[in-house]
Chain A
């Protein structure tokens, strides 16, 4: 057992080193650098720096040193927990990331709850009515929905609910400068802004939960004790909820952790559709302006989150499943 854990953790450490390495080198090999501006956005402003000024800035940010030394410094700093200083935003990368990550995690977690709840529930309903009309309808709907890219669903939502019906805001995370009379209103406002992003994001995983729940329920429903319960004439929903679902919970819990990883990646796109103030929109900007420390910081945090989720999924799966012991 301990040998196994050792093997796994070595694997993760290697993965981490691998990520940190490409994380350092790829941004630096992209064409362009943070200080070269010749063009600007329409009606925007820009400054062009002379070579001397650029040299000064590079010195200031330590970008004039040989790449090897920069790399060693970078690793040293990361191990100390120092993610660097953003070039375009003029602030500590860790501070910037902390202010944004709650938004991303917020919609990610809510989306997982939505997809897990509805996916599992409908999966159970489907399994119970196996091969019936309801099952067939739900099944085909999910088959189609789970294949449609989430950002397209997000776009459709944006056009229909936000632009056409005007029920939800078009973008952003919350209303600015509004003095809320109570924290309740504040929360309502945040939820109001978060509904569309979270719901669209939940479509990434809902199909998986549905299939998983349906399959495991079908297995369980064929088990003897359920058949007995059925024969006893127990209430249908009671059977599903009390007996069957409880036993199907294991793969679903594991799935939750795995889904978190996918959802974090998927959030990048959804945030960009709704201009949601999370890490995804920041990431796009950072790449756009070649802000090396910021790109590295966001990338690292996302990768670490995914690794941790996968690790947890591994552990949880082993802990919960007695058969593996």
Chain B
């Protein structure tokens, strides 16, 4: 017995020693990496399985699509301020917004060496009609927006769309172009598993994917037509614990929770960026089921009676901002700051209630944060006389219930708060039954003619400044009406080692630098 104990002890000691020596090696490795010359940089990011990076095989959720975006280019791209030329060097809109004429750049090559032609682009828009890709920007209200594509000459082509719409430029611009010579014979793209499915004309080309480990490897494409790549290769490696992996130098960026951010603040070797608040939670009222909620005073009581700052502090540990009541995120380029704001004022809330008391059921998912938010809402609303019952179900059950309007009040969290403000129309201003998109059904029973009118108007307004004005006005109206309560937008941290790589940027509509193509390319000043 004693002998066994002895052996165990020695084993433990040996393990300890080897663990220590390991960590020494790691610090050395980090020091070596930082002196690497710029051209040989290999960026390592936290992996995870998000599917094979073809437009049809990446998973619909998660960042799989952004990996695919690095391999496939589109007609237009995005930078900090807006849409920029990409495959198309310039574009015109004619025929009252129904014709889009794109001029293409020369000498664009596919990863397999073939040349990109306007044929490929025509093929792509025809193919997407038959086989919608996972991330499909070309369907609006269930209809395919492209009528047909005409090739004008070697470098020009005309895309005819079904109607004038302010969002169409972006929609057409972000469709990923497919190589015709590969896809023309593919009958079922969902089962096209060949490595050929990852051939695009983007700045990086596909090297390796391992589903089991959630690992990917992309390398810079030597014959890329556009801006030079800043890194030689990008690897996504599976990590057990991101913080640990980051500190050991296994990955180059991390999004730590605010409680840990202190470890990086003082150290010069790290730089911290705050991600944009384009992901958020909102509270949806079902006015069909509980018609009391049609009363604007009750909704205002909610708006004043919920302490959104407290949620930011306690649930997100400070890494968030209370959302604008006009829905458009405070960091959106078209956010209107001059609108009605609602802070936590229980006395005011009580006044709006006029002494009445109510009781509602809040439907939430079963993620920790959501339940915490619901609990905080319950606590504060109790003080003003609204009794809340929390019903928590798993995510899919909640989503289905929201879609089928089987709830009284629902708490839901999702991204896309930075995208085109046409989202206001989808949420607040659909007027017909023809619309099938689920998010448009998400304010059941709410109807406001003025909001609908403006929403429809902004959609058809092709002049940017005029459209912006309408969007501003819409935010004002919505904030006064409180048809739903946007709670808060998360602003997570993004920590990286500037000495190794500092190209991280945010496009105007996205919250995470790792996802942006320009983060990996040389930028012209």
Contacts and interface: CB of A to CB of B under 8 A. Distances in A.
A and B touch in the complex (CB under 8 A): yes
B135 A39 contact: no
Nearest to B144: A52
Of A41, A60, A85, A169, most B-chain CB atoms within 10 Å: A41
A40 B59 contact: no
B135 A289 contact: no
B492 interface: yes
Interface string A26-47: 0000111100111111111111
Interface string B412-438: 111100000000000000000000111
A167 B19 contact: yes
Contact of A46 (B60, B235, B255, B367): B60
B141 A50 contact: yes
B499 interface: no
Contacts of A171: 240-241
A235 interface: no
Interface in B384-403: 393-403
A99 B212 CA distance: 7
A214 interface: no
Given A36-B403, A36-B438, A38-B399, A90 B63 contact: no
B132 A53 contact: yes
B512 interface: yes
A100 interface: yes
A14 B191 CA distance: 35
A47 to B, nearest CB: 5
A32 B439 contact: no
A239 B135 CA distance: 70
Contacts of A91: 193, 211
B241 A32 contact: no
Contacts of A30: 396-397
Given A38-B412, A170-B241, A31 B397 contact: yes
A170 B136 CA distance: 38
A7 B141 CA distance: 59
Main secondary structure on chain A at its contact with chain B? loop
Interface residues of A, number: 49
Interface in B1-60: 1, 15-16, 19, 23, 47, 49, 51-52, 56-57, 59-60
A43 B511 contact: yes
A322 interface: no
A91 B275 CA distance: 34
A39 B193 contact: no
Contact of B16 (A52, A96, A165): A165
Contacts of A243: none
Contacts of B439: 38, 48
A187 interface: no
A48 B399 CA distance: 11
A30 B60 CA distance: 21
A90 B61 contact: no
Contacts of B365: 39
Interface in A62-89: 85, 88-89
Interface in A129-170: 134, 165-167, 169-170
B213 A277 contact: yes
Contact of B61 (A31, A44, A169): A44
A177 interface: yes
A275 interface: yes
A88 B134 CA distance: 11
B267 to A, nearest CB: 20
A51 interface: yes
Interface string A168-182: 011111101100000
B211 A176 contact: no
Contact of B139 (A50, A90, A100, A277): A50
B253 interface: no
B505 to A, nearest CB: 17
A85 to B, nearest CB: 8
Of A45, A51, A60, A91, most B-chain CB atoms within 10 Å: A45
Given A167-B16, A170-B240, A42 B235 contact: no
What are the 6 A-B residue pairs with the smallest beta carbon separation, nearest first? A32-B396, A52-B142, A171-B240, A51-B436, A32-B400, A170-B240
Given A32-B396, A38-B402, A53-B132, 18 more contacts: A30-B397, A32-B395, A36-B403, A38-B398, A42-B279, A42-B413, A43-B415, A44-B61, A45-B62, A47-B60, A52-B436, A85-B191, A90-B59, A170-B241, A172-B240, A176-B213, A177-B235, A289-B396
29 contacts: A31-B401, A33-B396, A38-B402, A39-B398, A39-B399, A39-B413, A42-B413, A45-B61, A45-B415, A47-B136, A50-B142, A50-B436, A50-B437, A51-B438, A52-B142, A53-B132, A53-B139, A53-B142, A85-B191, A90-B51, A99-B212, A166-B19, A166-B23, A167-B15, A167-B19, A172-B240, A177-B215, A275-B240, A289-B396
